[in-house]
Amino acid sequence: MQDNAAAILAENDRGTYTVPTKGLYPFQWNWDSCLTALGQQQLDEARAWLEIDTLLAHQWPDGMVPHIIFHVEDDGYFPGSNVWGTNRPTPTSGITQPPVCAFVLRRLYERASDKAQAREMALRLAPKAAAWHRWFYRCRDPHGTGLVALLHPWESGRDNSLDWVEPLMRVPDEGVTPYVRRDTTHVDPSQRPTKAEYDRYLWLVEHFRDLGWNNEILHDNSPFRVVDPGFNAILIRSDEDLAWLAGELGLADLAAEATARVVKARAALETLWSEEDRQYLCFDRALGAPVKSASVGGLLPLFAGAGDAGRQSALAGTLRKWRGQTRFGVASHDPADPRFEAKRYWRGPAWLIVNYLLVDGLKRCGLDDAAEEVRRDSLGLIQQSGFAEYYDPLTGEALGGGRFTWTAAMVLEFLRGERA
């Protein structure tokens, strides 16, 4: 299993960055790269630092780190760089993705065997991660609530989640430049988003492009503004890890600033708790109401150690209930929800990266047994079906793209956990 994982990382390595998988995703993706670096470190430490160095070299002047870097043109993917029209030296998309970067930087630093290299790279990269985090609260929380909003479903990383169905209704679906999708040529269309959804995704892209990708005004001018508990939890955790790293590096101001953000955001995150659902829920900021949708995004606050012991064990209870209804955890959506679809991406399937973040979170909350169950399910999926993009949680069937980079990286991480 380990050799297979290493072979996949090598296969998708483009020298200075790694593609998620051949064909379907031929560029560098933000959170894919960061999580991939964790696996790479076990094989080649310098290569792992380089992966993140490349990503952050394409940070925007305002601090945003884009979700895709189009290093080389490839017309197998839509929407390509010409649709985004972001006018960057190397083309990028104009939106961001879950900020796992600082969490990964801390892990790389702590585990490094070449300490001099680790210090040099961390000193170079931590200030960039800090600028990104500042950008989040300035541009995605301009009214100072303590929680950042997503302006596009693709920013969540859980692109096709049921969480976005209602909020997307406020986005017009007319007037979009005619286009041809490419995702459905690589993957069975029944697993992918519908045309009505795709029209709205593109409406948002064109709208932001018309506003000149000016992040100082996009938030208040977007009909899609959703606060995702999972995304915010990742940001909080990364800020916490950034504070730790800055402390190690002697960057006291940076550490203090990150800690202040964490304190405020932690308190704000609790406003997303739903006692009825026994988990956190998204909040539709454009509407001013919670989104009644029980997705795995609402369990991810474990990753930030959010809530008190009562809420954490409630989350573990919800997770147990979900696992009880599937053969392999963790479903990306509540299996009891009538809208659950075991094969449509992010509306049911299990993802190893989500499992990884949950395992880490469960452990930090002292829920070791639950963590071990999720880790076992993850390796069980690989054993049965190989290294896919995601899996049917009822049958374990491999779905989406194959020979998938971050799945391979997570396997290396889970196996590492086994040895430890």
Name the site residues for ligand GLC (rule: CB under 6 A): 20, 25, 29, 31-32, 157, 159
Query: Are 185 and 26 contacting, i.e. CB atoms less than 8 angstroms apart?
Result: no
Q: Which is nearer to ligand GLC, 160 or 215 (CB)?
A: 160
In 78-119, the DSSP E strands lie at: none
Q: Which is nearer to ligand GLC, 19 or 365 (CB)?
A: 19
Query: Are 369 and 353 contacting, i.e. CB atoms less than 8 angstroms apart?
Result: no
How far apart are the C-alpha atoms of 101 and 93, rounded to whole Å? 18
Catalytic residue among 13, 53, 74, 159: 159
Q: Which is nearer to ligand GLC, 29 or 136 (CB)?
A: 29
How far apart are the C-alpha atoms of 122 and 125, rounded to whole Å? 5
* Region at 333 (left for phi over 0; alpha for psi -120 to 50; beta for the rest): beta
Catalytic residue among 228, 360, 389, 413: 389
How far apart are CB 7 and ligand GLC at their closest, in Å?
18
Q: Which is nearer to ligand GLC, 32 or 141 (CB)?
A: 32
How far apart are the C-alpha atoms of 17 and 175, rounded to whole Å? 36
Query: Are 101 and 109 contacting, i.e. CB atoms less than 8 angstroms apart?
Result: no
How far apart are CB 259 and ligand GLC at their closest, in Å?
29
Q: Which is nearer to ligand GLC, 195 or 321 (CB)?
A: 195
In Å, the largest CA–CA distance within the chain is 55
Three-state secondary-structure class, residue 18 = strand
How wide is the angle at C-alpha 206 spanned by C-alphas 201 and 211, nearest 5°?
Answer: 125
Catalytic annotation on 51?
no
* Region at 307 (left for phi over 0; alpha for psi -120 to 50; beta for the rest): left
Could you tell me the two tokens for 200? 């709205």
Q: Which is nearer to ligand GLC, 20 or 301 (CB)?
A: 20
How far apart are CB 231 and ligand GLC at their closest, in Å?
11
Rounded to the nearest 5°, which phi and psi values hold at 290?
A: -65, 155
Residues 6+ apart with CB under 8 A from 17: 28, 33, 51, 54, 55, 69, 71
Catalytic annotation on 389?
yes
How far apart are CB 25 and ligand GLC at their closest, in Å?
5
How far apart are CB 233 and ligand GLC at their closest, in Å?
16
How wide is the angle at C-alpha 140 spanned by C-alphas 138 and 141, nearest 5°?
Answer: 70
How far apart are CB 251 and ligand GLC at their closest, in Å?
29
How far apart are CB 345 and ligand GLC at their closest, in Å?
7
Q: Which is nearer to ligand GLC, 28 or 312 (CB)?
A: 28
Which are the catalytic amino acids? 159, 389
